[in-house]
Structure 1
Amino acid sequence: MLRIIALFCLLWSGVCHAGTVLVFGDSLSAGFGMRADQAWPTLLQARLKQQGFKQQVVNASVSGETTAGGRTRLPAALAQHKPDVVVLELGANDGLRGLPLKPMQENLTEMTRAARQAGAKVVIVGMRLPPNYGPDYTEKFHGSFASVAKTEGAALVPFLMDGFAQTSEWFQADGLHPTPAAQPRLLDNVWPAIRPLLKR
């Protein structure tokens, strides 16, 4: 009977659970200032379908979230969604608030380990800060993401807003959040790290 069920799943993959991509971030992934269907995680779902992947995208991002808040929330999200891939897009609010970098790195590390222990592959999304935070802090901040990814064997997106961070027209009035028109560019930046982790 188990073999029959397994065969049924293979033949009718749309009926059985095909896997979940959990996007776990802050306002940059939550779709701040726009409709939910315009945010890059929703565009990710459309791309998966277009390219024949069966995974479902769950966007558990919360505006204003820090790595400390994410570390607190993640166990429940892992238990609920049982993701195959976790995209960690957190840290921007730590940096904007000038929080110490060591706790941020520790939080990213523990979230990565928790996701892996739950059976998920992890993508860490890197960020940069405006230069007014000073060269020492901004460079160490940016380097934190690569350091955690390397140490923990996670995939890395070097910079979520790579290629347009200095172009004001791609940002909302606050100068921090990308516009709806910029969301495909965010997706294009994360896709190379996510795609190798997916199974059809």
Structure 2
Amino acid sequence: MRPLFSVFSLILIVVCFSGAVSAAQPAPHRVLLVLGDSLSAGYGIAQGQEWVTLLSQRFAREAQPVKVVNASISGETTSGGVARIKPLLERETPAWVLIELGGNDGLRGMSLVAMEANLQAMVDAVEESGAQPVLLGIKIPPNYGNKYRSRFEQVFVDVAERNDVALLPFLLDGVGGIDNLMQADRIHPNQQAQPLIADNVWEFLKPVMVKRDN
């Protein structure tokens, strides 16, 4: 009986050890997808210093199991976002999608009706995939006139309210229009501004992500 007892003991030890290892494994990472333009792609910024990367590093420091995927392209418009979003959703299977698009539509004086329809189409695609859409708003320079600027900014508000989607009204809050935080083109924030933008998004996202988990 002694050899048989030894075999059972060994099996029990292996099972207990395996259970302990499984319990110690970290939670799987969930994906946060960023779909944006040059503001998120890091135009004019040293690689690894753009706000999206800094946000990813913040999740790591806070021991949050979130993988940030940056699918931003300089020059992207809302129509480009619509064309790319479904393949991105299928490939990345994100839990959250930050939609940071519309700035180039505004700068090019494109149809705000079309811009709103495109943002709505992206929100719909994200929700259909089971992910949570989040809007990052932007503002355009004053030389576009108060009427167009006001209508442009209202598009983000309307889409957010209609779909009960979280909206950060101005991605560059505390950065835009400040000389020492902007590049020479007065449109893109410089490297010094990137941590501030990352902080803006981090503080905005914390309650949004908690709400989803609850």
- TM superposition score normalised by structure 2: 0.85
2:75 corresponds to 1:64: yes
2:96 corresponds to 1:53: no
Matches within 5 A, 1:167-182: 167-182=178-193
Tell me the amino acid that sits aligned with residue 25 of structure 2. W
Given that residues 41 and 50 in structure 2 are in contact (C-alpha distance below 8 angstroms), is that contact kept between their aligned partners in structure 1?
yes
Unaligned runs of 5+ in 1: 1-6
Matches within 5 A, 1:64-143: 64-143=75-154
1-structure distance, mates of 2:41, 2:185: 16
2:158 corresponds to 1:150: no
Unaligned runs of 5+ in 2: 1-19
Range that drifts further, 190-199 or 95-104: 190-199
2:49 corresponds to 1:38: yes
Q: What residue number does 2:31 align with?
A: 20
Q: CA deviation at 1:10?
A: 6.1
Tell me the amino acid that sits aligned with residue 108 of structure 2. R
1-structure distance, mates of 2:43, 2:142: 23
Q: CA deviation at 1:85?
A: 0.6
- TM superposition score normalised by structure 1: 0.91
Q: 2:171 aligns with which of 157, 160, 174?
A: 160
Q: CA deviation at 1:36?
A: 2.7
Tell me the amino acid that sits aligned with residue 26 of structure 2. S
Q: CA deviation at 1:123?
A: 1.2
1-structure distance, mates of 2:204, 2:67: 17
1-structure distance, mates of 2:33, 2:22: 22
2:198 corresponds to 1:187: yes
2-structure distance, mates of 1:54, 1:133: 42
Tell me the amino acid that sits aligned with residue 100 of structure 1. S
Given that residues 36 and 99 in structure 2 are in contact (C-alpha distance below 8 angstroms), is that contact kept between their aligned partners in structure 1?
yes
Given that residues 21 and 85 in structure 1 are in contact (C-alpha distance below 8 angstroms), is that contact kept between their aligned partners in structure 2?
yes
Tell me the amino acid that sits aligned with residue 25 of structure 1. G
2-structure distance, mates of 1:146, 1:9: 45
Number of matched pairs? 194
Range that drifts further, 162-171 or 189-198: 189-198
CA RMSD, Structure 1 to Structure 2 (Å): 2.0
2-structure distance, mates of 1:31, 1:10: 39
Given that residues 71 and 111 in structure 1 are in contact (C-alpha distance below 8 angstroms), is that contact kept between their aligned partners in structure 2?
yes
Q: Percent identity?
A: 42
* TM-superposition CA deviations, 1:12-58 (whole Å, max 9, x none): 125xx320000110000000011231011100111101112011000
Q: What residue number does 2:8 align with?
A: none
Given that residues 85 and 197 in structure 1 are in contact (C-alpha distance below 8 angstroms), is that contact kept between their aligned partners in structure 2?
no
2-structure distance, mates of 1:66, 1:190: 21
2-structure distance, mates of 1:123, 1:9: 34
